């Protein structure tokens, strides 16, 4: 004999089914692409922008604040930064702060005066004019770092930025200190945002320069194929 379900019994069945569904969903892993990080939960740093920092290609890869704090930016944010934020502007920076250095890995920057924020808005543009190889001297005001805190350049009094590979910056660590006078030779890049020298030699004066070792392409293992390609055929 089949009994008809009363409204109360029907409600109980639906409730039990709902509990089972909720339990099943609770065990399902979250999909990483659907996760959204809230940058407003990150620590805030405030200050006045002193100048941009540039990559060897002339793209903006960060800011220096008046108190010496160095702000690193993801490359895809930098094109928007130059339109929203300029030297002299007060900014609010959201990002991770380094423990032992005045260094912030930023995910969001807001212009305090205008309220404009820059968050993941596309790739940068950074065309510039090459000035060829030049030798110049100046006093260091700021030492530049990569995201891991490694030294990779410096800023001179006139705002010119010097860039060199971190291993070489470590090897020439003594001249790369704030307050030191330094001479360099390298390729000069001039842009509307600033000047940058891709350093090829460094020293304490123009007549006492030491060549730096540029990164070289990896070669194959011994008795193995050469990644730089086979040797040229013998002549004759």
Cβ neighbours of 219 (radius 10 Å): 11
Instruction: Give me the count of residues in the chain.
Output: 236
pLDDT for res 46 = 96
Report the predicted TM-score, pTM, of the whole model to 2 decimal places.
Answer: 0.51
From start to end of the chain, where are the E strands? 44-54, 60-65, 70-72, 90-97, 103-111, 117-118, 129-145, 151-156, 161-163, 181-191, 194-205, 208-211
36 pLDDT band, cuts 50/70/90, is low
- Domains 40-118 and 129-211 fall in the same CATH topology: yes
pLDDT for res 192 = 66
- Residue 2: pLDDT above 50? no
Return the domain boundaries, the chain: 40-118, 129-211
Give dist(CA 147, CA 91) in Å, integer: 20
3-state DSSP helix/strand/coil percent for the chain, to nearest 5?
A: 20, 40, 45
Q: For the residues 60-75, what does the mean pLDDT come to?
A: 90
- Residue 85: pLDDT above 90? yes
SS3 84: helix
Q: Which residues contact 121 (CB under 8 A, 6 or more apart)?
A: 76, 77, 79, 80
Q: Which comes out higher in pLDDT, residue 101 or 55? A: 101
pLDDT for res 195 = 87
- Residue recorded with tokens 């065990």: 27
Fold of 129-211: OB fold (Dihydrolipoamide Acetyltransferase, E2P) (2.40.50)
End-to-end CA distance of the chain: 104
- Residue 223: pLDDT above 60? no
Fold of 40-118: OB fold (Dihydrolipoamide Acetyltransferase, E2P) (2.40.50)
Q: For the residues 207-235, what does the mean pLDDT come to?
A: 60
70 pLDDT band, cuts 50/70/90, is very high
Number of helical H runs and strand E runs in the chain = 3, 12
pLDDT for res 122 = 44
pLDDT for res 40 = 74
- Residue 102: pLDDT above 90? yes
Summary mean pLDDT of the chain: 75
Between 45-49, 63-67, 179-183, the lowest mean confidence (pLDDT) is in 179-183
Q: What is the pLDDT of residues 125-182, one digit of tens each?
A: 445 556 678 899 999 999 999 888 899 999 999 999 999 888 888 887 777 889 999 9
């Amino acid at each position: 004999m089949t009994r008809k379900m009363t409204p109360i019994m029907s409600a109980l069945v639906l409730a039990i089914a709902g509990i089972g569904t909720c339990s099943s969903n609770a065990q399902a892993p979250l999909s990483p692409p659907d996760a959204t990080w809230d940058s407003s939960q990150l620590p805030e740093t405030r200050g006045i922008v002193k100048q941009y920092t540039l990559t060897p290609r002339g793209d903006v890869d960060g800011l220096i604040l008046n108190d010496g704090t160095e702000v690193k930016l993801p490359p895809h944010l930098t094109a928007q930064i130059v339109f929203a934020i300029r030297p002299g502007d007060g900014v609010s920076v959201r990002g991770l702060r380094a423990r032992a250095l005045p260094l912030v890995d930023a995910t969001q920057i807001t212009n305090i005066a205008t309220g404009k924020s820059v968050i993941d808005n596309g790739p940068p543009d950074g065309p510039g004019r090459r000035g060829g190889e030049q030798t110049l001297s100046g006093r260091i005001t700021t030492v530049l770092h990569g995201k891991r805190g490694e030294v990779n350049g410096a800023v001179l009094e006139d705002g010119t930025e010097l860039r060199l590979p971190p291993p070489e910056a470590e090897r020439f660590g003594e001249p790369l200190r704030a307050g030191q006078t330094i001479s360099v030779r390298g390729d000069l890049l001039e842009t509307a945002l600033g000047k940058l020298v891709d350093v090829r030699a460094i020293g304490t004066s123009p007549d006492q320069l030491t060549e730096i070792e540029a990164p070289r392409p990896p070669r194959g293992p011994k008795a193995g194929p050469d990644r730089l390609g086979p040797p040229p055929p013998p002549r004759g």
